[in-house]
Amino acid sequence: MIGKKVHIKSFGCQMNKLDTALVTFALKDAGFTFTESASEADVVLINTCSVREHAEQRVISHLGRLQHIKKTRPDMVVGVIGCMAQRLDRKLLKHDAVDIICGPAQIPQITKLITETLKLKKEIVAVTENIRQKTDQRQAQALEDFESAYSAREKKIPGQAYVRVMRGCDNFCSYCIVPFVRGPEISRPPKAIIDQIRKLADTGVKQVTLLGQRVNSYKYKAGDKTYCLADLLRMASDIQGIEWIRFVTSYPSEEFFDEILRAMADLPKVCNYLHIPAQSGSNKILRAMNRHYTTDQYLHLLAKARDIVPAIAIAGDFIVGFPGETHADFEATVDLVKKARYKNCFIFKYSPRPDTKSDKKLADDIPLEVKKNRNTELLAVQEKISGELSAEYLGKEVRVLVEGLSKKPHLDSEKSDGNPQLIGRTATDYIVVFNAPPSLAGQFVKVKITKTSPLTLFGRLI
């Protein structure tokens, strides 16, 4: 719709970021333009996350601001898309600001939904009625076509792109809403994935990140062959122009684990980085979470990873304050973090998600103050480990893929020589900050590390 302005706000994971990019280019093709200001927009889209309560509260707060804007601009159309739209369905229409509700599986329809709402001035709901049923073949093809049509333009960070290799999840961790908003686990055809990566390489993309809720469980049967993630890594490594390949997020499982690690060890393009959440160091809590491993099995996987890929960097996730977590359970988590020696950790306070098993059957019995204290303590333990691992880079030269200007320039940076501060990452996912010309965004450079902190390496361009 020529002349109509769109403002889009995105919350949540890499999957959401990818969906936002696809929607953006679909709307641009339809003649929409984009604005950074919601108050100037004819259409405002909010791509939502339901993984934690805080993420949903941010959306509700945002809708409150939009409701205020709509008092003076009643023709503005507001759409809620993504996981929260699927979870709450028509309940979102109770909010005066909302006109469109669109689930993750319906994003190929977004242009049509917006156009109809603008013309007919009516509310529209497009979600999956029975989310756990096998995806309809026509809907699956629509998602494939949408991904194929718009993914080659998705380069929010110069030289980089995300590629979805699978949708949904079948793990049913007791605290997790994802299976109920993203649907059953479906692996995309290898040919579609590799063709997509080739198109991205042709546009100048140097790094691709393969995405999946349990990316290491990727499995696609074609004839007599069953493809796994290791096969995708090998095929992607043969594509000219692609220099680095990453994948997230991995679930702690023996299935295909050796094959994936061997591919990482054998293929120079596959980055030596593994994000493998543990969530707890207590076997009792892991059982309550419906995580299918023990702490000993988890540590065995880490030991195997470090044996096969000695230079590997490992990151983890933890939830503190899960129902029934005693002080002893928390201390077991602290012990696991110390043994795992992660490069970095993402640590969250438990919040019950509606319709999950833990919400239905387990009382949220850990006081918020206790959750906060455990979160702070575990972060401090990890910060010490991260600081020690970062310090090992002091004086070394690292290869970095430059992302662009640093959003928060560090006051203790090296002399600028008239150049702004840039940010980039190593193959092992360390953040590196240095001064250099902005034109280097999307390029590989070498940086000598002159200072370190737990989460950041500082250096000078070589």
pLDDT in tens, 275-288: 999 999 999 999 99
Q: Between 415 and 111, whose confidence is greater?
A: 111
Residues 51 and 31 in one domain: yes
User: Which pLDDT score, from 0 to 100, does residue 1 have?
Assistant: 65
Angle formed at CA 219 by CA 213 and CA 220, multiple of 5 degrees:
125
Residue 41 has pLDDT above 90, yes or no: yes
Residues 342 and 196 in one domain: yes
Percent of the chain with pLDDT over 70: 97
Residues 384 and 409 in one domain: no
Domain boundary among 333, 365, 391: 391
CATH number of the domain enclosing 348: 3.80.30.20
Please give the structure tokens belonging to residue 369: 């103050």
Q: Which of 9, 351, 19 is nearest to 182 (CA)?
A: 19
Task: Give residue-wise pLDDT tens across range 94-110.
Answer: 999 999 999 999 999 99
Domain boundary among 374, 391, 408: 391
Which range marks the domain in which residue 319 is found? 154-391
- Burial profile 238-272: b = 16 or more Cβ within 10 angstroms, e = fewer: ebeebbbbbbbbbbbbeebbebbbebbbebebbbb
User: Which pLDDT score, from 0 to 100, does residue 410 have?
Assistant: 59
Residue 140 has pLDDT above 70, yes or no: yes
171 pLDDT band, cuts 50/70/90, is very high
Domain boundary among 391, 418, 449: 391
Task: Give residue-wise pLDDT tens across range 72-86.
Answer: 999 999 999 999 999
Domain count, the chain: 3
Residue 411 has pLDDT above 60, yes or no: no
Residues 383 and 402 in one domain: no
Residue 132, domain member (yes or no): no
pTM of the model: 0.93
User: Which pLDDT score, from 0 to 100, does residue 347 have?
Assistant: 98
| Mode of pairing for the β-strands spanning 5-10 and 33-34 | parallel
Residues 381 and 412 in one domain: no
Residues with Cβ < 8 Å from 260, sequence gap 6 or more?
216, 228, 229, 230, 233
For the chain, helix, strand, coil in percent to 5 are 40, 25, 35
Q: Between 145 and 218, whose confidence is greater?
A: 218
Residues 349 and 453 in one domain: no
Residue 295 has pLDDT above 60, yes or no: yes
Q: What is the mean pLDDT of residues 292-320?
A: 98
